[in-house]
Structure 1
Amino acid sequence: MNYSTKINSEGFAIINNFYTENEIEKLISLIENKTENNSENSTFRKSQDLFAIRQFHKEIPETLNFIFNENLKQIIDSNFGKGFFITKSIYFDKPEKSNWFVAYHQDLTISVDKKIDIENFENWTVKQNQYAVQPPKEILENNFTIRIHIDKTTKDNGALKVINNSHSKGILRIENLDFENEVETICEIEKGGIMIMKPLLFHASNKTTNNERRRVIHIEFSKQQLPNGLEWSEKTILN
């Protein structure tokens, strides 16, 4: 299953029927069991428009055996190679009546363990003792993200929109994209499907209009050593 040509040229690939119904139901069960007992946890964020679990793979590590089945390990090895590890993960639950929308953007920051003055590491932030920074584009260009769809996702419940091949243009301000001459794709994905994407791909999502829930597990990967003793704060090496 080689999608590397499409990922490199378009910035993303969609693979439907990736997880079985049984695997998805097991993930849902593990997530629901955890969320019922952790409403005060600082990594759990809840509003009427969005429920999110940050550091998902650390908060619910029991899910990893189901997420990283032989299928996913093979996809990562055949499309990216060996040595990749998790650098960040978030679980998103967009409820049926959600008005949450996200404007076009690139994923420009990484989560790190501390703040150090390093050349070309910019725009530092800290939230709940979690440092984030924008690294040089070369680091972002070599990373990738996998999004696991727990629900069927369509244009009516906030499927991602992407600008094809926009990842190849480096770090850009959105106003510097020539929308008249760009190709936009709405990434509709079946329950149990995955989307692989590059961090610099411009992506957005609309409000939900069809009263259907949208749950996604978002996992970011790298195999790069950060400089000057800086470390990925959520780094988890895959077995």
Structure 2
Amino acid sequence: MSPLNEPAPGLDLARDGAAHWRAAVPPRQIDDLIAELAAHAQVEPGRAGTRSLLAQPWCRALAAQLRDHPALQPSLAGLVAVQCTYFEKSTALNWLVTLHQDLSVPVAGRIDAPGWQGWAEKEGQWFAQPPAEVLGSLLAVRLHLDRCGIDDGPLRVVPGSHLHGRLDDEAARQWRERCGEITCLAEPGDVLALRPLTLHASSKARGTSPRRVLHIVYGPASLPDGARWAITA
């Protein structure tokens, strides 16, 4: 297995819970997306991003484009976009992300059903932790808008950890010790696909360049137990 912090783009989605594709979006479109974010992202002062971009036409078009990309289409067939989050990490907007799984999804409202937990309201939207089978069906696609080098707080993933369901802190630590981490460096236009149950973390940025990412989550068109997505595209 790879030692901690070894940069290695050779990931397999089924085996590792993550995969990396180069130049999935061309440079001119990356410039256009950055302009759209500057005009419409409406990030609150002092915050590192926003969770509520999918309602915007340009974002919906991007979600459809990525779903139809030849490299991504086999994994996204039959899924719909359910959320788009924008992250911007830099020395000015900086944070540390400890080892974790992404367990919360945006839904239209609260329900009372077994397996649904962790209810919270963020940016005026309900989020919940759904049953493990729902989490296992999701795929996040992270589009890099900037170069992400070793000093830019890149994502680190624990390969294969998505195959073991929800993991508590001790189990997560054991899986990282057993399997190591893969550091996901990227260039503008690169895409990293990530199963939300894949353990991942990132360090604070040490360089001067921004690390801007659009993180689009795809899931099944319908949810069990009467739950509904807040928005789809």
- Above 0.5 in TM-score? yes
1:45 is matched with 44
**Aligned pair 1:91/2:90, yes or no?**
no
Residues 35-65 of structure 1 deviation map (CA, whole Å, 9 limit, x = unaligned): 4xx4xxxxx3331xx431221121x322443
Q: Verify: 1:31 aligned to 2:21, yes or no.
A: no
Moved more, 64-73 or 6-15: 64-73
RMSD over aligned Cα atoms: 2.0
Q: Is the 8 A contact 2:63 2:216 kept in 1?
A: no
> CA shift at 1:97, angstroms?
3.4
**Among 111, 115, 129, the residue aligned to 1:116:** 111
List aligned pairs for 1:74-85, cutoff 5 A: 74-81=70-77, 83-85=78-80
Where does structure 1 lack aligned partners over 5 or more consecutive residues?
A: 39-43
2:72 counterpart SS class: helix
Structure 2 counterpart of 1:55, from 52, 55, 58: 52
**CA separation of 1:19 and 1:170: change in aligned 2, threshold 3 A:** same
Q: Residues 159-188 of structure 1: CA distance to partner in whole angstroms, max 9, x if unpaired?
A: 101111111111001211313322210100
Conserved 8 A contact 1:139-1:224: no
SS at match of 2:28: helix
Partner of residue 143, structure 1: 138
Change (3 A) 1:66 1:224: closer
CA distance in 2, matches of 1:87, 1:65: 13
Segments of structure 2 that go 5 or more residues without pairing to the other structure are 1-10
Preserved CA contact (<8 Å) 1:57 1:63: yes
Task: Kindly provide the amino acid, as one letter, of the partner of residue 132 in structure 2.
Answer: K
Deviation at 1:151, TM superposition (A): 0.3
1:100 is matched with which residue: 95, 101, 104?
95
The answer as to whether partners of 1:55 and 1:234 remain within 8 angstroms in 2 is no
Aligned to 2:6: none
Distance 1:115 1:180 in 2: 37
Determine whether 1:18 maps to 2:14. no
Show the counterpart of 1:186.
183
What is residue 41 of structure 1 aligned with on the other side?
Answer: none
Task: Confirm or deny: 8 A CA contact 2:67 2:73 kept in the other structure.
Answer: no
Q: Does the CA-based 8 Å contact 1:145-1:221 persist in structure 2?
A: yes
CA deviation after TM superposition for structure 1 residue 126, in Å: 1.9
Could you tell me how far apart the structure 1 residues matched to 2:163 and 2:149 are? 26
Q: Is the 8 A contact 2:90 2:152 kept in 1?
A: no
**Aligned partner of 2:65 among 66, 69, 92:** 69
How far does the alpha carbon of each residue in 1:104-138 deviate from its partner, in whole angstroms, 9 at most, with x for none?
11001111111110111112112343111111101
Which secondary structure state, in structure 2, belongs to the residue aligned with residue 74 of structure 1?
coil
Q: Deviations over 1:2-40 (max 9, x none)?
A: xxx9101000001111111111011111111224xx4xx
How has the CA–CA distance of structure 1 residues 170 and 211 changed in structure 2, closer, same or farther, with 3 Å as cutoff?
Answer: same
1:204 alignment counterpart: 201
**CA–CA distance in 2 between the matches of 1:120 and 1:66?**
32
SS at match of 1:28: helix
Alpha-carbon distance in structure 2 between the residues aligned to 1:32 and 1:123: 32
Q: CA deviation at 1:69?
A: 3.2
Q: How far apart in 2 are the matches of 1:222 and 1:142?
A: 6
The residue number in structure 1 matching 2:147 is 152
Verify the 8 A CA contact 1:97 1:209 in the aligned structure 2: no
